[in-house]
Amino acid sequence: MSKNEHVGILLFDYVDALDFAGPYEVFNLTTYNSEDVKRMFTNNLTEKPFTVSTVSQDGRQITVHNGLKVTPDYSFSNAPAFDMVIVPGGPLKAIQLVQNNEEIIRWIKNYEQKTIASVCTGAFFLAQAGILNGKKATTNRAALNLLEKHFPDVEVVRGVKYVDEGNVITSAGISAGIQMALHVVGKRLGTETARRTAYTIELD
């Protein structure tokens, strides 16, 4: 049995809901075996491969793009050391907000040696932290040219759902984060587990 991994999902104002909620559900609904699926849905499952938490700069409630209010589990100051970090994206105002926030970029940079994955325009924050220099990466199809223009040291890849560069993974827009998260599950726990999770969330 694999050890439990703690996944931290970064939150900030104007984040896109599905960018973080998609991977949140994928990791939370992954089980060690098929017998555990039923136990999970009857609240009778104590051991799962992933513990998933949300974190923001100050731990206070954030407002998602389009208005949803979410209270993170942790702030940067009281968060545990995560095994894996998911960095979602958002519209232009989210990109500008995060890119200009040195503390958030520094926090992301601290996870460079762990597994770090971005969803959608979250790739801009990894690039801002220097994590994508010399690497292939993708982002929301509407932002591919912008990523290429602002970060010439990044080899931008088009027409894919995600790009895996070892411990750094980037995915395309919004719903692509679900496929990226399933890919990570497969890397960690095998294809059969990833297929079971996809079946559990009813993704063909």
Q: Tens digits of per-residue pLDDT, 148-170?
A: 999 999 999 999 999 999 999 99
Beta strands in the chain (DSSP E): 5-10, 50-56, 62-63, 69-70, 74-75, 84-87, 115-118, 136-137, 155-156, 162-164, 168-171
Per the prediction, the chain carries an average pLDDT of 96
Model pTM score: 0.95
Token couple for 153:
């040291």
Q: Structural domains in the chain?
A: 5-117+174-200 (3.40.50.880)
Give bridge partners of residue 9 from the DSSP assignment.
54, 86
Q: Is the pLDDT of residue 1 over 70?
A: no
pLDDT in tens, 57-72: 999 999 999 999 999 9
